[in-house]
Amino acid sequence: MRFRVIEEHITSFPIKRLCSVVGVSPRGLRAFRSRPASRRQRSDLVTLAHIKEQSRFSLGSYGRPRMTEELKEIGLDVGHRCVGRLMRQNGISVVRTRKHKVTTDSDHKFNIAPNLLDRDFTADMPNQKWAGDISYVWTREGWLYLAVILDLHSRRIIGWAG
């Protein structure tokens, strides 16, 4: 991490000053630069290449668990923590999309009720004007319908059915 900070700011500051700020010697920096990549770094590069490929094939829909399964299927022995770390470090995340649920069918041959209220939602006395609506609610059992009748004078629910 210290050497990475030095590499990022090497064009702005002298090497000796950067080394003294982060607490390493210039000789340690030279040793770091000439050191070959470790086994883990090489393994991570191979795994990352496969993660990027699988992410592209899945159009960004695979998260850490599914990505781990896919990598194991192609023969890579990799754990879900390593996959999660590499995805997080490289900004690979899941693109969540929800399908639009169509709840209204306006193109039908049924009779259409007349609009008696004509957007006048005020009532002088109770039980003079009622309004109703149907809504769809997602539950563990799936989509359920909720129908509600509202008294426009008191703004209270007269009745409901689910």
As given in the structure block, the two tokens for residue 38 are 């470790």
Q: Answer whether residue 77 shows pLDDT above 80.
A: yes
Residue with the two structure tokens 């850490």: 64
Which has the higher per-residue pLDDT, 68 or 141?
Answer: 68
pLDDT at 42 over 80: yes
Neighbours of 32 (CB within 10 A): 14
pLDDT of 24 above 90: no
| pLDDT, tens digit, 9 for 90 and up, residues 93-138 | 888 777 777 777 778 888 888 888 888 888 999 999 999 989 888 8
Beta bridge partners of residue 149, listed in sequence order: 132, 159
146 pLDDT band, cuts 50/70/90, is: very high
- Band of pLDDT at residue 159, cut at 50, 70 and 90: very high
Domain boundaries defined on the chain: 1-35, 36-100, 130-161
What is the rounded average pLDDT of the residues 60-78? 92
Q: Contact 158/151 with Cβ under 8 angstroms?
A: yes
How far apart are the C-alpha atoms of 18 and 158, rounded to whole Å? Answer: 74
pTM of the model: 0.48
Q: With bands split at pLDDT 50, 70 and 90, how would you rate the model's confidence at 10?
A: confident
pLDDT of residue 140: 85
Spatial contact of 155 and 148, defined as CB atoms under 8 Å apart = no
What lies within 8 Å, CB to CB, of 88 at 6+ separation is none
- Band (pLDDT 50/70/90 cuts) for residue 48 is very high
Give me the pLDDT at residue 137, please: 87
Please state, in angstroms and rounded to a whole number, the distance separating the CA atoms of residues 55 and 81.
17
